[in-house]
Amino acid sequence: MIEMHSVVRRFNGPAGQPITALDRIDLRIEQGEFVTLVGPSGSGKSTLLFTIGAMMRPDAGKVILDGKELDAMGPGARARLRRTAVGFVFQTFNLIPYLSCLENLVLAARLSGDSRRTAVDRSSQMLQRLGLGERVRHRPSELSVGERQRVALGRAVIHRPRVLLADEPTGNLDPASTEQVMDLLRELHAEGQTIAMVTHDPRLAETGERVIGLRAGRLVEDRPSMAKGAVT
């Protein structure tokens, strides 16, 4: 599903000096895998996630997503790929504040190509599944933090993406809301969803099948998770 070959990504630091966020990354994630990305702040986890999802271009190397070489695609093609093949869940939700829960999901479904009727039907069903059936007309400001993240997760998967990318999806949540979101991710994975999730929580890092560790932009760990080891 995802291949990275000698990927390098640099930024300019505060004084103009170059900072290497990704340093010759080689990585392969198979279809249906649930991978967690761990490491200290500034290790390159989010940059890796955004590069996989065609939100950032590497300065060197090659990224292949679902058989498509991202570097060979123009801006329009990359945008279409993000709309149809990639789902993003952000720590800060990034919901559209003046749209209701239902409208946030419908917009994502429509952008991926669904008809209005199909988008509304599927979005209503998704909100029911998320336990938000009574909140469909509420705007994000009228929801709890945990409810907003569940809406964000629903929006990320409403178009049936090939890969789901989650950047600290539980970072702002209380323990109960964290478990709700993680239960949903486990359900999606059980249904065959490919997932790559950034987390600082050592316990959540063991949720998936594989743990990938980064430090200073380099891969320093790639191992089966403790949960995977228990299963096997």
Give the pairing of strands 18-29 and 2-12. antiparallel
Residues 38, 46: Cα–Cα separation, whole Å: 10
pTM of the model: 0.90
> Which range of residues forms the domain containing residue 175?
2-231
Tell me, what's the pLDDT at 171? 85
Question: 3-class DSSP state for residue 113?
Answer: coil
Which CATH number does the domain housing residue 169 bear? 3.40.50.300
Amino acid at 179: E
Residue 33's CB: how many other CB atoms inside 10 A?
19
Tell me, what's the pLDDT at 226? 84
Instruction: HSE, CB side, 13 Å, CA atoms: give it for residue 29.
Output: 32
Rounded to 5°, angle at Cα 138 from 55 and 87: 20
Rounded to 5°, angle at Cα 29 from 34 and 7: 130
* Cβ contact 210:218 at 8 Å: no
- Residue 117, C-beta contacts closer than 8 angstroms, at least 6 positions apart: none
Tell me, what's the pLDDT at 108? 93
Of 91, 92, 107, 100, nearest to 155 (Cα)? 107
Averaged over successive runs of 10 residues, the pLDDT of the chain (232 residues) comes to: 94 83 96 95 92 92 92 90 90 92 96 92 94 94 93 94 93 88 92 94 92 95 79 40
Helix axes 175-190, 145-157, angle to 10 degrees: 20
Tell me, what's the pLDDT at 103? 97
Helix axes 101-111, 145-157, angle to 10 degrees: 20
Tell me, what's the pLDDT at 223? 93
Tell me, what's the pLDDT at 228? 66
How far, rounded to the nearest angstrom, does the alpha carbon of residue 138 sit from its chain's CA centroid? 24
Q: Give how many domains the chain has, as a whole number.
A: 1
Tell me, what's the pLDDT at 231? 41
Beta bridge partners of residue 36, listed in sequence order: 197, 211
